[in-house]
Amino acid sequence: MTRSHHSRAGGRAPDGALPPARRRRRASLYATLLVLVLVVAGGADVAVLSSRPQRVDVTMPTSVPSATLSPDSAQDRQPEQTWLVLGVDSRETVPEGPDYYGSASEVPGSRADVLALVQPRQGGLTVLTLPRDLVLLDADGSMERLATSYLSGAQRTVDLLCRGLGVSTTHLVVLDMAQFAAVIDSLGGLEVEVPEPVKDSYTGLSLPSAGRQRLSGSQALALVRSRHPEVLQGQTWTALSPQEGKSRRNEYITSVMTATLSAVREQTRTPWGAHRLAHELASHLTLDTGTGTTDMVSLARALASAPDTGHDRGARHDDTRAQTSHGLEIVDVPVLETDTGQNQDSPGNDVSIVAFADDTTMEVLAEHGHSPGSCTTGSR
């Protein structure tokens, strides 16, 4: 949302009237001022920011030197940074209480519910979303779903992405359900377009009106976790099929992610806003031990420089690719989905649909610098 400014006698133009190049310079200036604010605030403030996030020890993959890659590989497009962002579903961290989605004894452990690869680039960010049902081949020849790989810890998820897809993770961000809701609330909620009234008794989702509306953290969480939605068609609530529910959930995740990044971007356009938000969000994140404050500042600068928001649903979804060469680009990585036909009527079932990487999957990943063999795992 563009803020209006009253012009003064001196002829100062409102932000919207500035040429694009000047707006970019101003955004860059704000990001530079943020760094200065952190320095002037003193080492104590930086230490506070560094100590607030929870930490997880993960050994990141190593990129294969370009000389060992084939000439037609994506070596020249390998991103300098790839942030793996995971939304996990431990029942012990549900905002409404540990028994809201079933107790921790009934659904033990944490699965990766949302997976995204965030790549800072010139002029903004690219976000690649991966389906939780994607099955990849591990080093021992076994098949593993991305969602369940997190049951063995973040290290296994990072390693599986490297071995199966050539994704070389450089930074890790993990959000459990309580942290996710707290981040959204720290942003003052999210503005999301809801195409039709929807509810889901399994997640507690209840949005009885269509159109653009502001969601709280708990509402946004219920939306992105919805896999068995009912939509209002005329005067009747109609349950969607498992495949339709899966597709709708992917759309919800993308909408919430876009709104979240846009809200963060808007608040980091000024140094004081970025400083406040940094302190707000730091206590609601889990980071790998190798990610420091300067890394977060660098990511914030890339986000602040993104002038536009775009969404590319990939070649598999439709033939019209969004024009997102600048700004914030979100890409739903296409996969080959298979309906296993198991337990279709069980609202808690997570295995009725599985997905596999095919040529189109690899092509889209290669376009963004990831290809099999381009990294080696750092752990055994």
Interval 32-79: pLDDT, tens: 554 444 444 444 566 667 777 889 999 999 988 654 455 554 445 678
Mean pLDDT of the chain: 76
Residue 330 pLDDT more than 90?
no
pLDDT value, residue 42: 40
The string of pLDDT tens digits covering residues 336-375 is 988 766 544 444 444 467 899 999 999 999 999 999 989 9
Is 281 a domain residue?
Answer: yes
The percent of residues above 70 in pLDDT, for the chain, comes to: 68
Average confidence (pLDDT) over 185-204: 91
Range of 129's domain?
A: 19-61+80-179+273-340+351-371
pLDDT value, residue 31: 52
The 8-class DSSP code of residue 183 comes to H
pLDDT value, residue 33: 54
pLDDT value, residue 92: 54
Is 51 a domain residue?
Answer: yes
CA 248 to chain centre: 17
Is 228 a domain residue?
Answer: no
Is 139 a domain residue?
Answer: yes
Residue 316 pLDDT more than 60?
no
Task: Indicate the pairing of strand 230-233 with strand 236-239.
Answer: antiparallel
Handedness of CA 106, 109, 115, 121 (dihedral sign): positive
Out of 124-138, 236-250, 297-311, pick the least confident: 297-311
- State how many domains the chain has: 1
Is 75 a domain residue?
Answer: no
**Model pTM score:** 0.74
pLDDT value, residue 110: 78
CB 205 within 8 A of CB 198: yes
The percent of residues above 90 in pLDDT, for the chain, comes to: 33
Is 379 a domain residue?
Answer: no
Residue 127 pLDDT more than 80?
yes
pLDDT value, residue 371: 92
Is 198 a domain residue?
Answer: no
pLDDT value, residue 244: 86
Scored b (16 or more CB within 10 A) or e, 238-269 reads eebebeebbebbbebbbbbbbbbbbbbbbbbb
SS3 content of the chain, % helix, strand, coil (to 5): 40, 25, 40
Which whole-number Å values give the CA distances from 246 to 97, 110, 249, 340, 364, in the listed order?
25, 20, 5, 14, 21
Residue 320 pLDDT more than 80?
no
pLDDT value, residue 30: 53
Average confidence (pLDDT) over 238-246: 86
pLDDT value, residue 375: 93
pLDDT value, residue 38: 43
pLDDT value, residue 57: 95
The string of pLDDT tens digits covering residues 200-238 is 988 889 999 999 999 999 999 889 888 889 999 889 999
CATH of residue 362's domain is 3.30.420.590
95 or 294, which is more confident? 294
Is 266 a domain residue?
Answer: no
CB 84 within 8 A of CB 161: yes
Residue 28: pLDDT band (50, 70, 90) is low
179 or 378, which is more confident? 179
